[in-house]
C-alpha cells in the first residue's frame, strides 16, 4: 500500500533509487519569465536530472537561490501556492491534449493537478497521483527528488513513447514565475505544450489493483437521534494493460463531505454548479470532456452500482459509464438508469469526437438521450484555431415528447500579443445541460472578443492589456435579419476591459460594459463599471479588493434594478504552519415594483431595497502535510427580501453561519471528523486503500 508522499519525509525512508536506471536528461537550464516581465530570463537557474526504469520516472530538481530569500511553509496537499515552488509538467502522450503538473514547495508540501486542453488549460487539483518525493534545503537553494510511477498515466502499448516534460518555477522574493522554452510567440496557457522532449523505451510492468472501502456516520450532536445515518461501500480500480482502466463502485461515497464547498446563491436562473471531486469520475476524466460540457457527471448523484471503462492512447480514446442511480427525495433525484459512451480520434493537437448519453426514470419510464459530436481543429502552428459542439436531444415521456438542438462554434486567431475570437452559439435561456437534456427552444448569440497586450517590462509598468467585447443575442426567427439590419429586436452589448500590471505583483483593473435590452417596446441601456486591485504586500500577505456599480436585470421580474457591490479579502500564512483566508462582500440593491415600465432614470425613486453581506474566515493549521485542522466561519447571505432562491433544505436567514473542523491524514488512507453549526451536525468517515 502506498501511503503517499509525506510519510516518506516524516520517517526519512526515501533514498536515491536511480542506480541502474537509464539516463534521459541532465543539464542546468534557464527558464523564461511568464510574470512579471514576459519573455525575460529568470534570475536563477534550475538543475534538472531525469532517469527512468521499467516502472518509474525519477526527476531531481535543484532550485538555485540565495537561501536567505527562500519562502517555504507546510500546507495541506494541493494548497500553499504563496511560497517558492519548483516542479514539472508531463505530457505522456505528446499530443498537447493533456498534461499532469507536479509542484513542490520549498517548505515540503506538494501539489498535483491535471491540465486539459478541452477545458482551456485550467488546473484540476481534484486529480491525485501516486508519487514519492523529498524536499530539502541546501547551501545553494533547495532540492526536490521525485519518483513518479508510470501507472499514473495511460499510454499506448508501443515499445517507444514520446514524452514532453516542462519545468516550472515560482520565486516569491522577486515575484517571478517561469517556464522552459517559452518565448514571445509561445503562449503559456497550456503549460505542457513545450519543454524537454524525451523518448522512453520498454516502460510498463504490472500495475497494481486498488480497492478502497469506506465507512461513514453522521447525525446531530443532541436530540436529533432520528437523523443518525451510517453507510459503507467501496471503489475499485483495475488496470487492463497500459491503455485501459476499469473502475467499479458499490454504494460509493459520493457525498464527498470533505470535498464540496458550501455554495449558496439567489435570484439565479440555473441550478448551482459543483465541480467533480469523486474519484470514480475523476480518473481519465478528459476522455469524456468536450469544450462545452454536455455531460455533467454530478447528475449521476447517488448510484448503488456503477461501472466505468476508459481506453486512451495518443490516437484513440474511448470510454463508457453505466450506473444505477438511487432516489434521493431531498434533491428530487429519482431512481434511474444512466449511462454514456464516448469516442475521440486525436490528430496531434486536434481531435474529432462523438458521444451518446441517456437516462431513464425507472418509475415513470421517461427516457432522455443526447447525441453529440465535437471537434478541435488547429492550423498554421495553432495561429488559427476552431472548435465546435453539435448536439440533438430527445425526451420521451407520458405527457409529451420533446426534441432540442444545440450548436456552439468558436474560432480564434492568435499572433504574439494579439488575440481575436468569434463565438457563435444557438442556446435558449432555458437550456440546462446539467439536467441532461436540451430544450426545443432556440436562442442565438454572436460575440467577438479582441484583446491586445503591451509588454513594457519596466521596473514600474510591466504590462497593459486592452480588450473589446461586442456581442448580440436574439431569437432564432429575427436574429440574422436584425443582425444585418438595425438591431431593433436584439439585445446587444459592448464591453471594454483594461488591466494594468505594475511592479512585480500589483495588478489594477477596470471593467466597463454597456448593454441594450428591450422589454415591452422600451429600450434600456444597462451600464456599469468594476474596479479592483490584486497585490502581494509580502510573501505571507496577499490582498485583493474590488467594487461594482451599475444597472442590472432582475430576471425573476424582468425589471431593472440598481446594484452596488463591494468585496475584498486578505490571505497568507502565519508561523509557516497556519494559513488564513478572510473574505467580505456587501451588496445593495434598489428596485421598483412597477416592473416592465421601469427606466434607468426612475431607479432613484425605487420603492424596495435590501442589503446583504457575507464574511468568511478560514484558518488551517498544518503541522506537516499529512495532518491538518481547518476552522471555517461563513455567514450566509441575509434574508433576501423581497425574494431569494436557495436549496429547499437550507433555511437562510441573517443569523445563520457555517463552521467546519476537519482532520485529514492522507489521501489513500484518511480519517475525516467534522462538526457543522448551527445545524449541530457531526460526521465521521474513514477510508483505507488496499493494493493487490
Is pLDDT at 196 greater than 70 in this prediction? yes
Nearest 5°: the CA angle 309, 311, 316 is 145
The x, y and z cell numbers of residue 260, run together, are: 464540496
pLDDT of residue 539: 73
Task: Report strand pairing: 690-691 vs 141-149.
Answer: unpaired
Interval 153-168 mean pLDDT: 88
pLDDT of residue 43: 92
The percentage of the chain sitting over the pLDDT mark of 90, rounded to a whole number, equals: 24
Q: CA–CA separation, 534 vs 537, rounded Å? A: 10
Average pLDDT score over the chain: 78
Closest CA to 116 of 361, 302, 349, 368: 349
Q: Which has more confidence, 168 or 477? A: 168
Name the least confident of 27-41, 92-106, 180-194: 180-194
Q: Where are the domains of the chain?
A: 6-201
Peptide bond into 36 cis (omega under 30): yes
Per the CB < 8 A criterion, the answer to whether 573 and 580 are in contact is yes
Per-residue pLDDT tens over the stretch 12-22: 333 344 467 89
pLDDT of residue 503: 72
Calculated CA dihedral for residues 187, 192, 198, 204, nearest 10 degrees: -170
Residue 58's pLDDT band, with cuts at 50, 70 and 90, is very high
Is pLDDT at 99 greater than 50 in this prediction? yes
Q: Give Cα 661 distance to the centre of its chain.
A: 24
Q: CA–CA separation, 409 vs 80, rounded Å? A: 38
- 6-201 domain in CATH 2.60.40.1190? yes
Peptide bond into 642 cis (omega under 30): yes
The x, y and z cell numbers of residue 542, run together, are: 496577499
Q: CA–CA separation, 665 vs 93, rounded Å? A: 33
pLDDT of residue 679: 67
Is pLDDT at 234 greater than 80 in this prediction? yes
Per-residue pLDDT tens over the stretch 268-298: 333 445 677 777 888 888 899 888 878 878 7
Q: Give Cα 128 distance to the centre of its chain.
A: 14
Residue 119's pLDDT band, with cuts at 50, 70 and 90, is confident
pLDDT of residue 21: 87
pLDDT of residue 650: 38
Per-residue pLDDT tens over the stretch 123-137: 888 888 888 999 999
Residue 268 CA: distances (Å) to CA of 406, 432, 438, 474, 561:
22, 13, 19, 20, 15
Collapsing DSSP to helix, strand or coil, 427 comes out as: coil
pLDDT of residue 236: 93
The x, y and z cell numbers of residue 107, run together, are: 517548505
pLDDT of residue 287: 92
Interval 27-52 mean pLDDT: 91
Rounded to the nearest 5 percent, the helix, strand and coil shares of the chain are 5, 55, 40
Residue 253's pLDDT band, with cuts at 50, 70 and 90, is low
Name the least confident of 220-234, 311-325, 565-579: 220-234
The x, y and z cell numbers of residue 163, run together, are: 514524452
Interval 198-214 mean pLDDT: 87
Is pLDDT at 262 greater than 50 in this prediction? no
Q: CA–CA separation, 106 vs 125, rounded Å? A: 19
pLDDT of residue 53: 92
Name the least confident of 63-77, 82-96, 104-118, 626-640: 626-640
Interval 413-422 mean pLDDT: 87
Interval 445-467 mean pLDDT: 85
Per-residue pLDDT tens over the stretch 376-416: 998 887 889 999 999 888 888 776 777 777 888 999 998 87
Is pLDDT at 332 greater than 90 in this prediction? no
Per the CB < 8 A criterion, the answer to whether 447 and 474 are in contact is no
Collapsing DSSP to helix, strand or coil, 691 comes out as: strand
Q: Which has more confidence, 444 or 598? A: 444
Interval 188-202 mean pLDDT: 77
Polymer length of the chain = 692
Q: CA–CA separation, 423 vs 408, rounded Å? A: 8
pLDDT of residue 616: 84
pLDDT of residue 434: 45
Is pLDDT at 450 greater than 80 in this prediction? yes
HSE, side-chain direction, 13 A CA sphere, residue 457: 12
DSSP output for 117-173: GGGTT-EETT-----EEEEEEETTEEEEEEEEEGGGS---S-SEEEEEEEEEEEETT
DSSP output for 483-521: HTTT-TT-EEEEEEEEEEEETTTEEEEEEEEEEEEEETT
Per-residue pLDDT tens over the stretch 470-488: 887 777 666 666 565 555 5
CA-only gyration radius of the chain, Å: 26
Is pLDDT at 649 greater than 60 in this prediction? no
Interval 508-524 mean pLDDT: 65
Fill in the DSSP letter of residue 279: H
Amino acid at each position: 500500500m502506498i501511503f503517499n508522499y509525506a510519510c516518506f519525509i516524516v520517517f526519512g525512508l526515501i533514498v536515491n533509487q536511480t542506480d541502474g536506471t537509464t539516463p534521459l536528461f541532465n543539464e542546468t537550464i534557464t527558464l523564461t519569465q511568464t510574470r512579471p516581465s514576459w519573455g525575460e530570463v529568470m534570475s536563477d537557474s534550475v538543475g534538472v536530472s531525469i532517469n527512468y526504469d521499467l516502472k518509474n520516472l525519477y526527476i531531481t530538481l535543484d532550485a538555485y537561490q540565495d537561501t536567505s530569500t527562500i519562502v517555504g511553509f507546510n500546507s495541506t496537499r494541493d494548497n500553499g501556492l504563496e511560497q517558492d515552488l519548483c516542479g514539472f509538467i508531463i505530457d505522456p502522450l505528446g499530443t498537447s491534449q493533456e498534461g499532469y503538473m507536479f509542484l513542490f514547495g520549498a517548505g515540503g508540501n506538494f501539489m498535483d493537478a491535471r491540465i486539459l486542453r478541452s477545458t482551456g488549460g485550467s488546473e484540476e487539483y481534484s486529480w491525485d497521483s501516486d508519487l514519492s518525493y523529498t524536499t530539502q534545503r541546501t547551501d545553494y537553494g533547495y532540492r526536490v527528488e521525485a519518483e513518479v510511477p508510470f501507472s499514473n498515466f495511460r499510454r499506448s502499448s508501443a515499445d517507444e513513447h514520446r514524452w514532453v516534460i516542462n519545468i516550472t518555477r515560482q520565486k516569491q522574493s522577486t515575484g517571478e514565475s517561469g517556464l522552459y522554452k517559452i518565448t514571445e510567440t509561445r503562449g503559456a496557457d497550456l503549460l505542457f505544450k513545450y519543454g524537454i522532449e524525451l523518448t522512453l523505451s520498454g516502460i510498463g510492468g504490472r500495475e497494481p489493483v486498488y480497492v478502497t472501502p469506506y465507512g461513514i456516520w453522521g447525525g446531530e450532536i443532541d436530540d436529533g437521534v432520528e437523523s443518525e445515518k451510517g453507510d459503507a461501500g467501496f471503489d475499485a480500480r483495475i488496470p487492463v494493460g497500459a491503455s485501459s482502466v476499469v473502475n467499479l463502485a458499490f454504494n460509493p461515497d459520493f457525498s464527498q463531505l470533505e470535498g464540496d464547498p458550501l455554495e449558496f446563491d439567489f435570484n439565479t436562473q440555473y441550478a448551482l454548479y459543483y465541480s467533480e471531486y469523486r474519484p470514480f469520475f475523476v480518473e481519465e476524466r478528459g476522455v469524456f470532456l468536450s469544450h462545452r460540457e454536455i455531460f455533467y457527471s454530478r447528475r449521476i448523484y447517488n448510484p448503488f452500482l456503477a461501472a466505468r471503462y476508459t481506453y486512451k492512447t495518443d490516437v484513440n480514446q474511448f470510454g463508457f459509464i453505466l450506473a444505477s442511480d438511487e432516489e434521493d427525495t431531498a434533491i428530487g433525484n429519482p431512481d434511474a438508469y444512466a449511462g454514456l459512451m464516448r469516442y475521440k480520434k486525436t490528430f496531434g493537437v486536434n481531435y474529432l469526437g462523438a458521444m451518446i448519453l441517456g437516462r431513464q426514470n425507472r418509475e415513470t419510464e421517461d427516457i432522455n438521450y443526447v447525441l453529440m459530436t465535437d471537434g478541435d481543429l488547429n492550423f498554421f502552428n495553432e495561429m488559427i484555431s476552431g472548435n465546435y459542439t453539435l448536439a440533438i436531444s430527445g425526451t420521451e415521456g407520458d405527457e409529451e415528447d420533446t426534441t432540442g438542438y444545440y450548436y456552439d462554434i468558436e474560432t480564434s486567431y492568435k499572433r504574439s500579443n494579439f488575440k481575436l475570437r468569434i463565438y457563435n452559439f444557438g442556446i435558449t435561456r432555458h437550456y440546462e445541460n446539467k439536467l441532461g437534456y436540451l430544450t426545443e427552444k432556440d436562442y442565438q448569440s454572436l460575440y467577438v472578443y479582441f484583446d491586445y497586450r503591451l509588454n513594457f517590462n519596466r521596473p514600474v509598468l510591466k504590462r497593459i492589456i486592452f480588450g473589446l467585447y461586442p456581442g448580440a443575442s436574439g431569437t432564432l426567427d429575427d436574429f440574422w435579419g436584425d443582425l444585418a439590419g438595425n438591431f431593433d429586436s436584439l439585445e446587444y452589448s459592448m464591453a471594454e476591459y483594461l488591466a494594468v500590471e505594475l511592479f512585480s505583483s500589483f495588478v489594477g483593473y477596470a471593467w466597463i460594459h454597456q448593454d441594450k435590452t428591450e422589454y415591452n417596446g422600451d429600450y434600456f441601456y444597462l451600464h456599469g463599471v468594476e474596479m479592483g486591485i490584486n497585490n502581494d504586500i509580502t510573501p505571507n500577505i496577499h490582498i485583493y479588493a474590488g467594487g461594482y456599480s451599475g444597472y442590472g436585470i432582475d430576471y425573476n421580474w424582468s425589471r431593472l434594478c440598481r446594484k452596488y457591490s463591494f468585496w475584498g479579502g486578505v490571505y497568507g500564512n502565519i508561523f509557516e504552519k497556519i494559513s488564513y483566508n478572510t473574505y467580505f462582500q456587501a451588496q445593495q440593491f434598489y428596485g421598483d415594483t412597477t416592473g416592465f415600465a421601469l427606466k434607468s432614470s426612475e431607479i432613484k425613486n425605487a420603492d424596495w431595497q435590501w442589503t446583504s453581506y457575507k464574511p468568511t474566515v478560514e484558518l488551517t493549521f498544518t503541522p506537516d502535510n499529512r495532518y491538518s485542522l481547518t476552522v471555517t466561519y461563513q455567514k450566509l447571505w441575509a434574508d433576501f427580501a423581497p425574494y431569494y432562491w436557495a436549496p429547499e433544505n437550507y433555511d437562510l436567514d441573517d443569523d445563520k453561519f457555517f463552521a467546519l473542523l476537519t482532520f485529514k491524514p492522507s489521501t489513500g488512507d484518511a480519517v475525516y471528523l467534522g462538526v457543522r453549526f448551527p445545524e449541530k451536525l457531526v460526521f465521521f468517515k474513514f477510508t483505507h486503500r488496499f493494493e493487490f
